[in-house]
Amino acid sequence: MEKEEAQMRIFKAQPILKEDPIPVPEKARKPLTLLQEFNLHVDHRAVDRAEFDKKVKDKEMMYKRYRDEAESGKMMEEEKALKQLRRTLVPHARPVPKFDNPFIPQKSSKEITKPKSPKLQVVRRKERRKMVSVVAATSSAASRMR
């Protein structure tokens, strides 16, 4: 046992290997990626948006043209109406009457009105006032006697 222990204590290096015991596989190299041109959705949207904006602008221009034409037509109508109104407001002299057939009144067939005196109630009113004053005077005298 001592021999074994002594042998174990002796250092023995392992032999140097010239070749790897486990060969490392070579990495398979992929070919370099070829660059392809890419299309962004933003580019397509920009083109579509430009077309849309052009259509909207054309439509607005068309509406503006229609509006301007309508407005100019309305202004012309108003000017014509104003000219006509001014023409009608100018004072004109009345035409001279024609005296070819002068007016001759015809004699009336009715009788002449007969005058009638108004029947005023002045006399009766005067008599009534006298009566009322006499009655009032007698009643006041009678009331004093009591």
Residue at 66 is within a domain: yes
Instruction: Count how many Cα atoms sit within 13 Å of the Cα of residue 83 in the half-sphere of its side chain.
Output: 6
Number of domains in the chain: 1
Residue at 121 is within a domain: no
Mean pLDDT of 115-126: 85
Record the tokens describing residue 45, joined without a space. Answer: 């949207």
Name the average pLDDT for the chain.
Answer: 87
Domain enclosing residue 63, as ranges:
56-89
Residue at 72 is within a domain: yes
- State the amino acid at position 73 in one-letter form: G
d(CA 48, CA 40): 13
Query: What Cα–Cα distance (Å) separates residue 30 from each residue in 27, 33, 34?
Result: 9, 8, 11
pLDDT tens digit string along 105-117? Answer: 888 899 998 988 8
Residue at 142 is within a domain: no
d(CA 133, CA 138): 9
Residue at 67 is within a domain: yes
Residue at 101 is within a domain: no
pLDDT of residue 137: 73
Residue at 103 is within a domain: no
Q: How many Å separate Cα 10 from the centre of its chain?
A: 111
d(CA 38, CA 41): 10
CB atoms closer than 10 angstroms to residue 80: 10
Record the tokens describing residue 6, joined without a space. Answer: 């002594």
Residue at 112 is within a domain: no
Record the tokens describing residue 91, joined without a space. Answer: 């004072």
pLDDT tens digit string along 64-96? Answer: 999 999 999 999 999 999 999 999 999 889 998
